[in-house]
Amino acid sequence: MKLTINILALFLATLITTALAGGFKASCEVQKATFVQHRIPDPDRYWMELPCRSRNGKMNLSAINLNSCFGNSGGRLVWPGSNFLGSCQDVSTRVSGEKVVMSARCQKAGVLQGGRTEIDLNFHVTNIDGFPVCDR
Q: How far apart are CA 121 and CA 70, in angstroms?
A: 9
User: Predicted confidence band at 136 (pLDDT cuts at 50, 70, 90)?
Assistant: confident
* Residue 80 preceded by cis peptide, ω within 30: yes
Judged on CB neighbours under 10 Å (0-12, 13-18, 19+), 115 is exposed
Query: Could you give the CA distance from residue 82 to residue 105 in angstroms, rounded to a whole number?
Result: 16
Strand ranges, E, within the chain: 34-38, 45-53, 59-65, 71-73, 76-78, 88-96, 99-108, 111-112, 117-120, 125-128, 131-134
Closest CA to 89 of 33, 34, 37: 37
> What distance in Å separates the CA atoms of residue 121 and residue 124, rounded to the nearest whole number?
5
- The answer to whether the CB of 36 falls within 8 A of the CB of 107 is no
Per the model's pLDDT, the better-predicted residue between 19 and 132 turns out to be 132
Question: Which of 57, 48, 47 is CA-nearest to residue 27?
Answer: 57
Using alpha carbons, list the distances in angstroms from residue 81 to 7, 51, 84, 90, 118. 37, 25, 8, 19, 14
Domain spans, the chain:
2-134
pLDDT at 97: 84
Fold of 2-134: HIV-inactivating Protein, Cyanovirin-n (2.30.60)
pLDDT for residue 40: 62
54-104 per-position pLDDT tens digit: 999 999 999 999 999 999 999 999 999 999 999 999 999 998 888 899 999
